[in-house]
Chain A
Amino acid sequence: MPFTLGQKFNENTDWEFTVSNETIAEMVQVDGGITESDIAEYCYSALVDKRVYAMLAESSRPSNDGLYPWATDYCPAYNTNNGAFPSRVEMNTSVLESNKVTCYQRNILTYYGTIGGKTGHFLVMDIKDIKKWYIDYDTTGKFSSLNVSSTEGFPGISGTIYKYSDSEVKYAIVKPYNATGSPTGSLRVLNILDNSGNLWIGALNPSANSRELISNQKLSHAAWTRDYAAADTYNTYYSRYIYQGESTALQGWCHFNETVGDNEFPLSPGPTTPFYCYLEDIDGFNIVRVSGQYGNSQNPFITYCEQGCFFKDLNAVHTVQSWAGFLFLANNTLYKPIIEGGIIIGYTDDMDKTSDWDEMTNVTGNNISPVPPAPSAPTGDVETDMPLAYIGGSAGMVSFIKINASGLASADDIAESISRFDITTIGKDLLRNFVAFKCYAVLNIDDSVVRDIKVAGRTLKDEDDNALQGEYIGSVAPVDFTAGTVDHLYNDFRDYAPYTRIQMYVPFCGWFDLPSWCMGKEITGTMFTDIYNGTVKAVIYASRTVVAEVGGCCAFDIPFAAESTGMKAGAVISSALSTIAMTGATVAAPNIATGIAAVSSAANLVSAANSNGTTLKGVMGDGSNISGLHHVYIKTTRPKAPNGKKNIPEQYKHDFGIPCFKQLKLTAGDGFTQIGDANITGSMTDREKQMIIDGFRHGLIL
């Protein structure tokens, strides 16, 4: 599907996860710049875990090399995982070549070459989590080049290398333009990536050394996570990691427990020719300089190392490739588009905000928003975490103890134990110390400790004099949930109120309406259970904005005797609870409603058994919602299209237009244009002027 500049991304349709020559090729188009066809062959992307990853293919690679002429070049997992798209493409890197599109991490594509008559570096980027792509190209000479030869320390590399550096994006690049001659034999590509403090080294072996086979070069799996890397057995993959910082330990299959500082670590076994990479400690702490050499030639493959080559930032990326030095340093503002000399202006630099498309213009001065923005969410009410409820030691020293779990006391055990205490001996009725006995449908215990159950300072014990144990609850935490995203259907006003109604159901809280601007946004929520009374409060978010807050109750009280009943009541409760099958660790939610009825019966039994006027504590009514649905749901009700087709017919737009309400400069080709009271000046007669005004009231076709 063609992608035009300014188009908003629909996560579910605009990006597809399947790799093929057509499905995920996405295009960026700029007036006079990159054209659809230019980019269609190059750019691949995929949506993984709500992040857009991009990669590249080089279309100009010879087709007779027996390889896929597509993104597989730079995506080894695609070849090794039965065609599945790699899960962490974002860390993949490659070498910037002339007339190739290159992908860097963080969803940035660069292109160097000539497109549409413009020669330069093109940068396409997706601002993190905003899903908008920008393209820019350097006209200010920030990209510069210099010529190198093998004798300067670039084995097999001669010609022009490119570098770029400014305060936002820093990297220096050496391209393997004419990779002939050495290195010979097996060749390693070494990537060192710094991801949150870990440096990664990955290596792969292409099978030979030729121009074509450099195209065959697979980038390493260094993008994989550390755990994956350790478990990976792919025989051409040797992923290593080292630490950076004070610990400065180098760890890995080939090099253990070394400190940074003029170290060499041959990555073997593998290539017959050893490869050495040097990490030189610059400041004795966390700045490391990378250099290396190939084989025994003593030719350091990287001698070109400027300030930006130093590994300074924890979020930086540093890649070194033996056949093509590649140093890449990107700081946290990597996402910021290059504005100077650019084509697009007006986007926000704030990564937490969405650019206002109405304010974005290209160099022609025209607004590039293809579709005016839909109703936007109100500002404010930014998501805040619900507090934990700390229980232990507070609220009048009430201890909440989870029972009936494996290894813990059951209600039956407790009743039996209490019945063994002789009231006349201990001088009090321990049942009075029970202030709650509840069944919760949702209780996310955040902190707890298992210990002996004590009531009024007395440890409850079983008939063998073993202490009964329960899980003393320290705190409970909110429960996060996801309802999904309500997708646009019509992509027009009918997706909003009063035409479309969005309702949400949250267990124990019921159905409620969501506002129209939730359309297209991911609906999530957080539910918090108040352990004291069983009420729940759910805060609903559309993206990061609070959209609703609803309440309900997810628990019910289980009645117990509040007056002195001795063994008699305890036995009755025990019997009743046994009847409703509560001896297990927990009771399945679908049975909770049944449990309510059973416990109600148990209460009656207790009441009937206590002839000395036992009263019951506990209200059953609040827990009635428990018998409802236990999933979160979203229901979207929309009017059906009158003609059975989703889109408003083009003929309708031509005959009647659609609401506009903008001040525009009238231009031929605008089509149907209706103006309430056109302001016409000229030397026409008054009647003609009136005819034109009347024409616009009807609508003229420009």
Chain B
Amino acid sequence: MSIKVKTCKTTAEYFAVTKTLTNEVEHTVSIVYPCDILNPTFSLKGGYIDANYLTGPFGRKYWITNQTIDKGINYLHCTVDAWSSWSGDIYGTEQFVTRSEKHGNPNLNDISYPSTSDISSQVQRGTLLTQRATYVIGVI
């Protein structure tokens, strides 16, 4: 079965939900059966293509994890990018966030952040409470 896909490149981090895609090229590829939609393989005529990402099939987005070429056929081995494929189901949801880059509270103790045992000490001097003594007798 032939389908249309777009191969492209992304430099986004693996854990990025939203990825910027470049060099998009549309191809007509064949699905290699049996097909695991989370780890599909697509074949197309030709040699190596300069891409690491693929969109289109099964309504999902895939990392191109490997390419194998045999007898003029390029097999694109893919793995689903789950969080990018389903970003629409992620954004807008309310979650209890334990760590955050933008919304974190810097005053919450972060045991992950290292602290040295080397300390610095600062002394501030305040009011001079006494300069002279007072002599008092008590009589009855």
* Cβ contact within 8 Å between A654 and B139: no
Q: A373 and B118 in contact (CB under 8 A), knowing A586-B133, A653-B101, A666-B90?
A: no
* Cβ contact within 8 Å between A433 and B140: yes
CA distance in complex: A691, B81 (Å) = 9
Q: Which B residues lie within 8 Å of A673 (CB)?
A: 95, 97, 99-101
Which residue of the partner chain, among A411, A442, A470, contacts B129 with CB atoms under 8 Å? A442
Q: Which A residues lie within 8 Å of B106 (CB)?
A: 371-372, 491-493, 648, 658
Say how far A249's CB is from chain B's closest CB, in angstroms: 41
Q: Which B residues lie within 8 Å of A404 (CB)?
A: 135
Chain A residue total in the interface (Cβ 8 A): 120
Q: A586 and B96 in contact (CB under 8 A), knowing A637-B120, A652-B113?
A: no
Which residue of the partner chain, among B101, B121, B126, B127, contacts A670 with CB atoms under 8 Å? B101
- What 0/1 readout, one digit per residue, does chain A (381-407) give for beta carbons within 8 Å of chain B? 000000000000000111111111000
* Cβ contact within 8 Å between B105 and A659: yes
Say how far A186's CB is from chain B's closest CB, in angstroms: 50
Q: How many A-B residue pairs have CB under 8 A?
A: 329
Q: A641 and B16 in contact (CB under 8 A), knowing A435-B140, A436-B138?
A: no
* Cβ contact within 8 Å between B15 and A699: yes
The 3 closest A-B pairs by CB, nearest first: A671-B101, A436-B138, A657-B99
Q: Which B residues lie within 8 Å of A434 (CB)?
A: 137-139
Which residue of the partner chain, among B86, B101, B110, B130, contacts A507 with CB atoms under 8 Å? B130
- What 0/1 readout, one digit per residue, does chain A (471-492) give for beta carbons within 8 Å of chain B? 0010000011111101000011
A531 contacts B by Cβ under 8 Å: yes
A684 contacts B by Cβ under 8 Å: yes
A667 contacts B by Cβ under 8 Å: yes
Q: A582 and B125 in contact (CB under 8 A), knowing A639-B119, A674-B99?
A: no
Q: Which B residues lie within 8 Å of A701 (CB)?
A: 13, 15-17, 101
* Cβ contact within 8 Å between A640 and B118: yes
Which residue of the partner chain, among A637, A658, A665, contacts B108 with CB atoms under 8 Å? A658
* Cβ contact within 8 Å between B119 and A680: no
A638 contacts B by Cβ under 8 Å: yes
* Cβ contact within 8 Å between B129 and A676: no
Task: Name which of B82, B107, B119, B120 has the most chain A CB atoms within 10 A of its CB.
Answer: B107
Which residue of the partner chain, among A375, A433, A479, A499, contacts B115 with CB atoms under 8 Å? A499
Q: Which B residues lie within 8 Å of A494 (CB)?
A: 115
CA distance in complex: A123, B120 (Å) = 44
B85 contacts A by Cβ under 8 Å: yes
* Cβ contact within 8 Å between A484 and B119: no
Q: A659 and B104 in contact (CB under 8 A), knowing A436-B136, A700-B16?
A: yes
Q: Which A residues lie within 8 Å of B17 (CB)?
A: 668, 700-702
* Cβ contact within 8 Å between B138 and A632: no
B131 contacts A by Cβ under 8 Å: yes
Which residue of the partner chain, among B99, B119, B126, contacts A481 with CB atoms under 8 Å? B126
CA distance in complex: A399, B138 (Å) = 5
* Cβ contact within 8 Å between B104 and A657: yes
Q: Which B residues lie within 8 Å of A585 (CB)?
A: 132
Kindly report which residue of chain A lies nearest to residue B115, judged by CB atoms.
A639
9 chain-A/chain-B pairs, Cβ below 8 angstroms? A398-B139, A398-B140, A403-B137, A438-B135, A439-B133, A639-B120, A662-B96, A685-B37, A695-B83
Kindly report which residue of chain A lies nearest to residue B106, judged by CB atoms.
A492
User: Which B positions have Cβ atoms within 8 angstroms of A?
Assistant: 13, 15-18, 37-38, 80, 82-83, 85-86, 88-110, 112-140
Q: A493 and B110 in contact (CB under 8 A), knowing A527-B129, A637-B119, A659-B99?
A: yes
CA distance in complex: A442, B119 (Å) = 35
Known: A482-B127, A648-B113. 15 other contacts (CB 8 A): A404-B135, A411-B137, A494-B115, A586-B132, A587-B132, A634-B126, A635-B122, A653-B104, A658-B104, A664-B94, A670-B101, A672-B100, A688-B82, A692-B86, A700-B17
Q: Which B residues lie within 8 Å of A675 (CB)?
A: 95-98
* Cβ contact within 8 Å between B129 and A436: no
Chain-B contact segment, one of A22-30, A34-42, A588-596: A588-596
* Cβ contact within 8 Å between B16 and A660: no
CA distance in complex: A484, B107 (Å) = 22
Which residue of the partner chain, among B107, B129, B133, contacts A632 with CB atoms under 8 Å? B129
Task: Name which of A673, A674, A675 has the most chain B CB atoms within 10 A of its CB.
Answer: A673
CA distance in complex: A398, B97 (Å) = 69
Q: Which A residues lie within 8 Å of B38 (CB)?
A: 685, 687-688
CA distance in complex: A639, B122 (Å) = 11
A681 contacts B by Cβ under 8 Å: yes
* Cβ contact within 8 Å between B131 and A589: yes
Q: Which A residues lie within 8 Å of B15 (CB)?
A: 695, 698-701
CA distance in complex: A402, B120 (Å) = 45
* Cβ contact within 8 Å between B100 and A660: yes
CA distance in complex: A523, B125 (Å) = 12
CA distance in complex: A97, B104 (Å) = 43
* Cβ contact within 8 Å between A587 and B133: yes
A81 contacts B by Cβ under 8 Å: no
* Cβ contact within 8 Å between B102 and A455: no
CA distance in complex: A661, B109 (Å) = 11
Say how far B72's CB is from chain A's closest CB, in angstroms: 33
Q: Which A residues lie within 8 Å of B112 (CB)?
A: 656
* Cβ contact within 8 Å between A493 and B100: no
A210 contacts B by Cβ under 8 Å: no
Say how far A383's CB is from chain B's closest CB, in angstroms: 17
CA distance in complex: A451, B103 (Å) = 71
In A66-124, the 8 Å CB interface with B consists of none
CA distance in complex: A494, B106 (Å) = 9
CA distance in complex: A664, B116 (Å) = 32
CA distance in complex: A642, B118 (Å) = 9
A440 contacts B by Cβ under 8 Å: yes
* Cβ contact within 8 Å between B124 and A660: no
A211 contacts B by Cβ under 8 Å: no
Q: A642 and B125 in contact (CB under 8 A), knowing A658-B99, A684-B89, A700-B16?
A: no
* Cβ contact within 8 Å between A440 and B136: yes
Kindly report which residue of chain B lies nearest to residue A432, judged by CB atoms.
B140
A568 contacts B by Cβ under 8 Å: no
CA distance in complex: A473, B130 (Å) = 19
Q: Which A residues lie within 8 Å of B129 (CB)?
A: 441-442, 479, 481, 506-507, 527, 630-632
Say how far A329's CB is from chain B's closest CB, in angstroms: 41
Say how far A133's CB is from chain B's closest CB, in angstroms: 22
Q: Which A residues lie within 8 Å of B118 (CB)?
A: 639-640
Say how far A583's CB is from chain B's closest CB, in angstroms: 11
Q: Which A residues lie within 8 Å of B109 (CB)?
A: 493, 496, 659
CA distance in complex: A636, B120 (Å) = 8
Kindly report which residue of chain A lies nearest to residue B88, judged by CB atoms.
A682
Kindly report which residue of chain A lies nearest to residue B114, judged by CB atoms.
A642
* Cβ contact within 8 Å between A665 and B92: yes
Say how far A505's CB is from chain B's closest CB, in angstroms: 9
Which residue of the partner chain, among A436, A441, A665, A687, contacts B130 with CB atoms under 8 Å? A441
Say how far B15's CB is from chain A's closest CB, in angstroms: 5
Q: Which B residues lie within 8 Å of A203 (CB)?
A: none
Say how far A681's CB is from chain B's closest CB, in angstroms: 7
A414 contacts B by Cβ under 8 Å: yes
Kindly report which residue of chain A lies nearest to residue B101, judged by CB atoms.
A671
CA distance in complex: A622, B33 (Å) = 94
Q: Which A residues lie within 8 Å of B94 (CB)?
A: 663-666
Q: Which B residues lie within 8 Å of A411 (CB)?
A: 135, 137
